[in-house]
Amino acid sequence: MNCKKKFTILLFLATVFTFVVSFKPFADGGSGQIKVMILTDMGVIKIKLYNETPLHRDNFLKLIHEHYYDSLLFHRVIQNFMIQGGDPYSKRALPGVTLGDGGPNYTIPAEFNPALFHKKGVLAAARDGDLENPSQASSGSQFYIVQGKVFTDSLLKVQAKRITKMKLFNQIINRPENSALLEQYKRYAKAGNMPDSMKYVNDRIDVQLQKELPTVAPYVFSEEQTKAYTTIGGTPHLDGSYTVFGEVYEGIEVVEDIAAQEVERKTARPKKDIRIISVSIIQ
């Protein structure tokens, strides 16, 4: 889900506030949820936005109002995982160009909610990885829609252990005593030594991680999560790390069709462009 951004939260809050006070979108009379339609050249996807994540909801609506997403591509597609779009550089991208670094000059603070999780069909925000982005702030524009897969109870336990380890890693790397290590990683990454810098950090954190892991309360999926992941499926390892802010209520078959397209091996960009024609607010 990586996409490089500058963190200018004041700019983000100002632009969203200006939009909210000047624009009143349609809402579902029953649930109060705002609905949007993503028209693609492979079909229509209809999504309801969650009110529990207002910063992400309002930013998404602001960008729709600006026609920001019109003509962009689904630039990263991984079958049994997700489809990703929202990079402005994709609008006129030549074939074969690697995408994923574009967006507005701000990020959005994470809005994690245990009741909103990565079941099949949810809309969530892409972001930089934990080492570049320890606060787990979201991209200003890039999003993904989960396709995922169905998990057995035993595989779900493996995912719970994975989440526990990821959360502990993020806590350790953010401790004051590790600030120099994190800064060194960022310098390596800026110089383009990403694999080396990642190994450098992991090797030094792993000792503390393995020491503390047995003392940490393991992550536990709720009954609702377990039911969803073992029936309709999803991507459980992303729970609590990426903000979920909506879900598909019509057109999941279009998501499936897009996810099934042939892609470039290294970049996961579809070999044939899949374009977002427009995104609009609907009644």
**Residues composing the chain:** 283
| C-alpha–C-alpha distance, residues 6 and 8, integer Å | 6
Q: How is residue 198 written in tokens?
A: 């990642």
HSE-CB for 281 with a 13 A CA cutoff:
19
Q: How far is 202 from 170, CA to CA, in rounded Å?
A: 11
Domain ranges (residues) in the chain: 1-150+232-283, 152-230
Q: Where does the chain have alpha helices with state H?
A: 9-22, 54-65, 153-173, 179-190, 194-212, 223-229, 252-259
Q: What is the mean pLDDT of each run of 10 residues along the chain (283 residues)?
A: 46 50 50 93 98 98 98 98 98 94 96 97 95 92 98 96 93 90 79 73 88 94 98 97 98 98 96 98 87
Q: Which two tokens stand for residue 125?
A: 């925000």
Strands (E), 12-142: 35-40, 43-49, 74-78, 82-85, 107-108, 122-125, 138-139
SS3 225: helix
What b/e sequence results for 60-91 when a residue is b if at least 16 CB atoms lie within 10 Å of its CB, and e otherwise? Answer: bbbbbeeebbeebbbbbbebebbbbbbbbbbe
CATH 3.30.420.10 fits 1-150+232-283, yes or no: no
Residue 218 structure tokens: 């393991």
CB atoms within 10 A of CB 281: 17
Phi, psi of 20 (to 5 degrees): -60, -40
SS3 134: coil
pTM of the predicted structure, to 2 decimals: 0.87
